[in-house]
Chains A and B, each alone.
Chain A
Amino acid sequence: MTETIIWTVSVLTVLGLLLSLVLFWVARKFRVEEDPRIDEIEKTLPGANCGGCGFAGCRAFADAAVKAGNLDANYCPVGGPETMKKVAAILGCEVKETAPRVAVVRCNGSCANRPKVNEYDGAASCKVKSSLYGGDTGCLFGCLGCGDCVAACQFGALSMDAATGLPVVDEGKCTACGKCVAACPKRIIELRDKGPRGMRMYVSCTNRDKGPVARKACAAACIGCGICAKTCRHDAITVTDNVAYIDFSKCKLCRECEAVCPTGAIHGVNFPKALDKEAVKQRIAERKVKEGDASTTVGMTEKKEAGNE
Chain B
Amino acid sequence: MSKLTFSIGGIHPADSKLARESKIEVLPLPPKVYVSMFQHLGAQAQPVVAVGDKVKAGQIIAEPGGFISAYVHSPVSGTVKAIAPRKDLAGFGVMHIEIDVEGDEWAEGIDLSPELVTDIPEDREFILNRIKMCGVVGLGGATFPTHVKLNPPPGKTADCLIINGTECEPYLTSDFRIMLERTDEIVVGAAIMQKVLGGCKCVIGIEENKPEAISAVRASIKKLGFPGISVGVLKKRYPQGGEKQLIDAVMRRQVKSGGLPIDVGAVVQNVGTSLAVYEAVQKNKPLVTNVMTFTGNIVPSERQHNYLFRIGMPLSFIAEQAGGVPEGTVKLVSGGPMMGKAIANFDATTVKGTSAILCLGEETRRHPETPCISCCRCADACPMGLEPFLLKKLYAVGDTAALEQNAVQDCIECGCCQYSCPAYVPLLDNIRMAKAQVMGIIRARNAKK
Quick one: which of B212-267 are within 8 Å of A by CB?
Answer: none
A30 close to B (CB within 8 Å): no
Known A121-B366, A131-B436; contact A140-B93, beta-carbon cutoff 8 A = yes
Known A118-B344, A121-B366; contact A128-B433, beta-carbon cutoff 8 A = yes
Complex: A157 Cα to B275 Cα, angstroms: 59
Quick one: which of B124-149 are within 8 Å of A by CB?
Answer: none
A24 close to B (CB within 8 Å): no
Q: Is there contact, CB below 8 Å, between A133 and B92?
A: yes
Q: Is there contact, CB below 8 Å, between B429 and A133?
A: no
A37 close to B (CB within 8 Å): no
A272 close to B (CB within 8 Å): no
List residues of chain A with CB within 8 A of the CB of B91: 133-135, 140
Known A121-B365, A133-B92; contact A128-B87, beta-carbon cutoff 8 A = no
B interface footprint on A117-138 (CB within 8 Å = 1, 0 otherwise): 1100111010110011111000
Pick from B92, B331, B366, B429: contact of A134, CB below 8 A. B92
List residues of chain B with CB within 8 A of the CB of A128: 426, 429-430, 432-433
Q: Is there contact, CB below 8 Å, between B93 and A131?
A: no
Complex: A122 Cα to B436 Cα, angstroms: 17
Complex: A127 Cα to B395 Cα, angstroms: 12
Complex: A133 Cα to B342 Cα, angstroms: 9
Instruction: Return B429 CB to nearest CB of chain A, in Å.
Output: 4
Complex: A125 Cα to B433 Cα, angstroms: 10
Complex: A133 Cα to B94 Cα, angstroms: 13
Instruction: Return B363 CB to nearest CB of chain A, in Å.
Output: 12
Q: Is there contact, CB below 8 Å, between B426 and A123?
A: yes
List residues of chain B with CB within 8 A of the CB of A127: 433
Pick from A117, A122, A123, A133: contact of B90, CB below 8 A. A133
Q: Is there contact, CB below 8 Å, between A134 and B430?
A: no
Interface size of A by Cβ–Cβ distance < 8 Å?
14
Max chain A Cβ within 10 angstroms of own Cβ: one of B369, B429, B432, B433 = B429
Known A133-B90, A134-B92; contact A122-B429, beta-carbon cutoff 8 A = yes
B interface footprint on A169-180 (CB within 8 Å = 1, 0 otherwise): 000000000000
List residues of chain B with CB within 8 A of the CB of A123: 369, 426, 429-430
Max chain A Cβ within 10 angstroms of own Cβ: one of B90, B91, B93 = B91
Q: Is there contact, CB below 8 Å, between A134 and B436?
A: no
A interface footprint on B182-219 (CB within 8 Å = 1, 0 otherwise): 00000000000000000000000000000000000000
Instruction: Return A242 CB to nearest CB of chain B, in Å.
Output: 13
A interface footprint on B345-381 (CB within 8 Å = 1, 0 otherwise): 1000000000000000000011001000000000000
Instruction: Return B436 CB to nearest CB of chain A, in Å.
Output: 7
List residues of chain A with CB within 8 A of the CB of B90: 132-134
Pick from A117, A121, A122, A140: contact of B92, CB below 8 A. A140
Complex: A132 Cα to B426 Cα, angstroms: 14
List residues of chain B with CB within 8 A of the CB of A131: 432-433, 436
Q: Is there contact, CB below 8 Å, between B344 and A133?
A: yes
Instruction: Return A126 CB to nearest CB of chain B, in Å.
Output: 11
Complex: A132 Cα to B345 Cα, angstroms: 13
Complex: A152 Cα to B238 Cα, angstroms: 37
Complex: A132 Cα to B430 Cα, angstroms: 12
Complex: A123 Cα to B331 Cα, angstroms: 16
A136's nearest neighbour on chain B, judged by CB, is B344
Quick one: which of B403-449 are within 8 Å of A by CB?
Answer: 426, 429-430, 432-433, 436
Complex: A5 Cα to B90 Cα, angstroms: 79
Instruction: Return A122 CB to nearest CB of chain B, in Å.
Output: 5
B interface footprint on A80-98 (CB within 8 Å = 1, 0 otherwise): 0000000000000000000
Quick one: which of B45-95 are within 8 Å of A by CB?
Answer: 87, 90-93
B interface footprint on A38-70 (CB within 8 Å = 1, 0 otherwise): 000000000000000000000000000000000
Complex: A134 Cα to B93 Cα, angstroms: 9
Quick one: which of B270-327 are within 8 Å of A by CB?
Answer: none
Q: Is there contact, CB below 8 Å, between A134 and B87?
A: yes
B366's nearest neighbour on chain A, judged by CB, is A121
Q: Is there contact, CB below 8 Å, between B344 and A134?
A: yes
List residues of chain A with CB within 8 A of the CB of B432: 128, 131
Complex: A140 Cα to B433 Cα, angstroms: 20
Complex: A135 Cα to B92 Cα, angstroms: 9
Complex: A65 Cα to B432 Cα, angstroms: 38
A137's nearest neighbour on chain B, judged by CB, is B91
Across the A-B interface, give the 4 residue pairs with the lowest CB-CB distance, nearest first. Answer: A134-B91, A123-B426, A123-B429, A133-B90
Q: A122-B429, A132-B90, A133-B344 are in contact. List 9 more A-B contacts (CB 8 A).
A: A117-B344, A118-B344, A121-B331, A123-B429, A128-B432, A131-B432, A131-B436, A133-B91, A140-B92
Using a CB–CB distance below 8 Å, which chain B residues touch chain A? Answer: 87, 90-93, 331, 342, 344-345, 365-366, 369, 426, 429-430, 432-433, 436
Q: List 29 A-B contacts (CB under 8 A).
A: A117-B344, A121-B365, A122-B366, A122-B426, A122-B429, A123-B369, A123-B429, A123-B430, A125-B429, A125-B433, A127-B433, A128-B426, A128-B430, A128-B433, A131-B433, A131-B436, A132-B90, A132-B342, A133-B90, A133-B91, A133-B342, A134-B90, A134-B92, A134-B344, A134-B345, A135-B91, A140-B91, A140-B92, A140-B93
Using a CB–CB distance below 8 Å, which chain A residues touch chain B? Answer: 117-118, 121-123, 125, 127-128, 131-135, 140
